[in-house]
Amino acid sequence: MSFRKKLLLLFAATVLLCVAVISASVYSTIRRSFEQANQDRANAIAAQFRSEFQRRGLGVTRKVESIAASETVQRVALDMNRGTTDPGEYVGEARTLASQQQLDFLELVDYRGTILSSAQWQAKFGYPEATIPRATIAQATTAADTLPAGAFLKREELPDGATLGLFAVRVARVGEQPLYVIGGERLDQGFLSTLDIPVGTRVLLYQNLDVKWDPKSLFDLNGSAAGADRIAPLVAKVRDTLQESQGVIHWTSDPGDTEVFHAIPLTGPIVNATNPGATDQGAANQNGANQQLMGVLLVGSSRRPLIELERQIVSTAMLVGSVGILVAVLASLWFAARVTRPVVSLAEAARRVAAGDLGAKVEVESSDELGELAAAFNRMTEDLVQQKDRTLQAERVAAWRELARRLAHELKNPLFPLQVTVENLIRAKQKSPEMFEEVFHEGTATLLAEINNLKTIIGRFSEFSRMPQPQRQPTQVNDVVRAVLRVFDAQLQQAQLQDKDKKQISVRTELDQALPEISADPDLLHRALQNLVLNAIDAMPQGGELAIRTESLGDRIEVSVSDTGSGLTQEECGRLFTPYYTTKKHGTGLGLAIVQSVVSDHGGKISVESTKEKGTTFRIELPCNPLTGWS
Amino acid sequence: MIAAATAATRPHYGGTLRVMLQSAPDALELPANATPVDYWDMARTLSLVGDTLVKLDARGDPRPALAVAWQSDNNARHWLFTLRPGVKFHDFSAASPAAIAQILGTLHSNWSVQASAGSVSIESETPMPSLLAELALPRNLLLKQDANHVPIGTGLFLVAQWQPAKLLKLAANEDSWAGRPFVDAIEIEFAKSFRDQAIALELDKTDVIEVSPQAAGGSSPHGTSSSSLSLPVELLALVFSANSKAQDPRLREALALTVDRKPIQSVLLKGAGETAASVLPNWMTGYSAVFSAPANPQRAHAVLAEARQPAPHLSYGLAYDPRDPQAQLVAERIALNAREVGITVQVSLSGAEDIRLVRVVLPSPDPATSLDEAARQLGLPQPVFSTPGGGTSLDDLYQAEHSLLAGHAVIPLFHLPVASAASARVRDWVPSRLGAWNEAGPSLADVWLADRPEVLRQDSRAYSFPPVGSR
> Is A588's pLDDT higher than 80?
no
Cβ contact B268–A121 (<8 Å): no
pLDDT tens figures, B235-247: 999 999 888 888 8
- Helix A3-68 to helix A93-101 angle (10° resolution) is 130
Residue A428: count other Cβ atoms within 10 Å of its Cβ. Answer: 19
Least CB–CB distance from B268: residue in A91, A127, A160: A91
Answer yes or no: is pLDDT of B470 > 50.
no
Residue A183 pairs in a beta bridge with A106, A168
What integer pLDDT is reported at residue B392 of this predicted model?
64
Q: What per-residue confidence (pLDDT) applies to B220?
A: 60
Best of A76, A90, A122, A124 to disrupt the B interface (most B CBs within 10 Å) is A122
DSSP structure string for B299-359: HHHHHHHHSPPPPTT-EEEEEE-TTSTTHHHHHHHHHHHHHHTT-EEEEESSSS-SEEEEE
Helical segments of A69-85, H only:
71-82
Query: A89 and A76 in contact (C-beta within 8 Å)?
Result: no
The partner residue sitting opposite B271, judged by closest CB among A88, A125, A160, is: A88
B329 to A126: CB separation less than 8 angstroms, yes or no: no
A32 burial (CB, 10 Å; 0-12 / 13-18 / 19+) is exposed
Question: Do residues B261 and B414 lie in contact, with contact meaning Cβ atoms separated by under 8 Å?
Answer: yes
- Looking at the complex, does the CB of residue B329 fall below 8 Å from at least one CB of chain A? yes
Between strands B225-229 and B218-219, the pairing is: antiparallel
Q: What band does B151 get if pLDDT is binned at 50, 70 and 90?
A: very high
Query: Which letter does DSSP use for residue B380 in this model?
Result: P
Rounded average pLDDT over B156-170: 95
Among A345-354, A486-495, B384-393, the range scoring the smallest mean pLDDT is B384-393
Mean pLDDT of A15-22: 78
Q: Is the pLDDT of residue A230 over 70?
A: yes
Asked if B330's CB is within 8 angstroms of A91's CB, the reply is no
Give the number of other Cβ atoms within 10 Å of residue B128's Cβ.
21
Angstrom distance (rounded) from CA A146 to CA A137: 10
Selected residues 107-136 of chain B with any CB under 8 Å from a CB in chain A = none
Distance CA B238, CA B318 (A): 9
Q: Search chain B and give the residue with CA nearest A87.
A: B267
Say if CB A464 and CB A594 are below 8 A apart: yes
Which is more confidently placed, A144 or B164? Answer: B164
Contact B304, B250 (CB under 8 A): yes
> Considering CB atoms only, which of A87, A127, A159 is closest to B347?
A159
**Inter-chain contact A122–B347, Cβ cutoff 8 Å?**
no
pLDDT the model gives residue A581:
72
Contacts of B266 in chain A (CB under 8 A): 87-88
Q: What are A402's strand-pairing partners?
A: none
User: What percent of chain B has pLDDT above 90?
Assistant: 45
- Taking chain A, what is the end-to-end CA distance rounded to the nearest angstrom? 31
pLDDT at residue B197, rounded to an integer = 93
Question: pLDDT-based confidence at A63, cuts 50/70/90?
Answer: very high
Q: Which residue of B has its CA nearest to A122?
A: B329
Digit-coded pLDDT (tens) for A153-199: 888 888 878 888 999 999 888 888 889 999 999 888 887 887 777 77
d(CA B118, CA B340): 65
Residues B406-446 pLDDT 10s: 888 899 999 999 988 988 888 887 777 888 776 666 677 78
Please report which confidence band the pLDDT of residue B101 belongs to, taking 50, 70 and 90 as the band edges: very high
Each residue of A447-495: pLDDT tens digit? 888 888 888 778 777 776 767 788 889 999 999 999 988 888 877 777 6
pLDDT for A358 equals 77
Stretch A97-121: mean pLDDT, rounded?
92
Instruction: Provide the phi-psi class of A491: left if phi over 0, else alpha when psi is between -120 and 50, else beta.
Output: alpha
> pLDDT at position A630, please?
45
Around B391, how many Cα atoms within 13 Å sit in the side-chain half-sphere?
Answer: 23
As beta bridge partners, residue A434 has none
What pLDDT score does A307 carry? 78
Average pLDDT, chain B: 85
pLDDT at B460 over 60: no
Q: What is the full DSSP assignment across A310-324?
A: HHHHHHHHHHHHHHH
pLDDT at B308: 66
Distance CA A33, CA A30 (A): 5
Share of chain B above pLDDT 70, in %: 87
Structure confidence at residue A341 as a pLDDT band (50, 70, 90):
confident
Non-local (6+) Cβ contacts of B258 within 8 A are B295, B297, B300, B334, B337, B338, B340, B341, B343
Of A487-496, B34-43, B195-204, the one with minimum mean pLDDT is A487-496
Helix (H) or strand (E) holding A372: helix A369-431
Q: How many CB atoms lie within 10 A of CB A563?
A: 25
Phi, psi of A236 (to 5 degrees): -60, -35
Residue A328 half-sphere exposure, CB side, CA atoms within 13 Å? 19
Residue of A nearest to B269 (CA): A88
DSSP B269: S
Q: Å from A225 to nearest chain B CA?
A: 23
Mean pLDDT of A266-278: 60
Cβ of B266 within 8 Å of Cβ of A125? The answer is no
**Most A CBs within 10 Å: which of B270, B333, B349, B350, as the mutation test of the A interface?**
B333
* Residue contact A88–B332, C-beta within 8 A: no
Decide: helix, strand or coil at residue A73: helix
Binning pLDDT at 50, 70 and 90, where does residue B121 land?
A: very high
Instruction: State residue A142's pLDDT score.
Output: 62
B262 touching A (Cβ < 8 Å): no
Q: Looking at this protein, which amino acid is placed at residue A48? A: Q
| pTM (predicted TM-score) | 0.65
Rounded Cα gap, residues B363 and B137, in angstroms:
7
Mean per-residue pLDDT, A3-15: 77
CB contacts, 8 Å: B270 with chain A = 88
Look up residue B367 and give its amino acid: P
B346 lies within 8 A of chain A by CB: yes
Highest-confidence segment of A587-591, B85-89, B394-398: B85-89
- Among positive and negative, which fits the CA dihedral A18, A19, A24, A26? positive
Angstrom distance (rounded) from CA B168 to CA B123? 37
Query: Is B215 an 8 Å CB contact of chain A?
Result: no
Nearest-5° Cα angle at A33, A29 to A37: 170
- What is the pLDDT averaged over residues B140-151? 93
Q: Is B315 on the interface with A (CB under 8 A)?
A: no
CA distance B300 to chain A (A): 18
Taking only the tens place, the pLDDT of each residue in A284-320 is 344 445 678 888 888 888 878 777 877 887 788 778 7
pLDDT tens digits, residue range B351-362? 668 999 999 999
Strand B419-423, strand B208-211: pairing? antiparallel
Which residue of A lies nearest to B326 if distances are taken between CA atoms?
Answer: A123
Cβ neighbours of B330 in A, within 8 Å: 123
Q: Which stretch, B219-233, B323-337, B428-442, has highest mean pLDDT?
A: B323-337
Coil vs helix vs strand at A578: coil
Over residues B250-279, the pLDDT tens digits come to 888 999 999 999 999 888 888 888 999 999
Which candidate, A303, A299, A305, places its Cα nearest to that of A42?
A299
Residues in A touching B336 (Cβ below 8 Å): 121, 123-124, 127, 159
Q: Report the alpha-carbon distance of residue A489 to residue A484 in Å, rounded.
A: 9
Cβ contact B73:B60 at 8 Å: no
Q: Which residues pair with B420 in a beta bridge?
A: B210, B228
Residue B452 Cα, gap to closest chain A Cα (Å):
33
Alpha-carbon distance values, A450 to A453, A588, B58, B94, B445 (Å):
5, 17, 191, 193, 193
| Contact criterion met (CB < 8 Å) for A88 and B267 | yes
Contact (CB<8Å) B333/A123: yes
Q: What is the band of B136 on the pLDDT scale with cuts at 50, 70, 90?
A: very high
Contacts of B175 (CB under 8 A, 6+ apart): B88
CB contact under 8 A, B336 and A160: no
Q: Which residues of A touch B (CB under 8 A)?
A: 87-88, 91, 121-127, 159-160
pLDDT confidence of residue B49: 94
What are the backbone angles phi and psi of residue B113, rounded to the nearest 5°? -105, 125
Q: Where are the alpha helices (DSSP H) in A499-590?
A: 522-538, 570-575
Task: Say whether residue B325 is in contact with chain A using an 8 A CB cutoff.
Answer: no
What is the predicted pLDDT for the residue at A279?
Answer: 42
The Cα A371–Cα A607 span in angstroms is 42
Chain A contact for B268, CB < 8 A? yes
End-to-end CA distance of chain B: 26
pLDDT above 80: residue A270: no
For B332-380, write each residue's pLDDT tens digit: 999 999 988 888 888 887 666 899 999 999 999 999 999 999 999 888 8
User: pLDDT averaged over chain A?
Assistant: 81
CB-defined contacts A:B, below 8 A = 36
Are residues B332 and A121, on separate chains, in Cβ contact within 8 Å? yes
> How many percent of chain A have pLDDT more than 90?
15
Mapping DSSP to helix (H, G, I), strand (E, B) and coil, where does residue A509 land? strand
Q: Pick the residue of B259, B336, B337, B347 with the most A CBs within 10 A to test the interface with A by mutation.
A: B336
Instruction: Collect all residues with Cβ–Cβ distance below 8 Å to B433 and sequence separation of at least 6.
Output: B58, B230, B231, B463, B465
Q: Cα–Cα distances in Å, from B7 out to A498, B11, B411, B449, B463?
A: 196, 11, 51, 15, 21
CA-nearest residue to A119 within chain B is B329
Q: For the ranges B208-222, B317-331, B345-359, which has the lowest average pLDDT?
A: B208-222
Q: In this predicted complex, what is the ipTM?
A: 0.77
Residue B310: the pLDDT is 60
Per-residue pLDDT, B309: 62
A59 has pLDDT over 80: yes
- H/E segment holding residue A293: strand A291-302
Residue A620 has pLDDT above 90, yes or no: yes
Torsion of CA B318, B319, B323, B324, to 10 degrees: -30
**Predicted pLDDT of residue B214:** 80
Calpha distance A338→A370 (Å, rounded) = 12
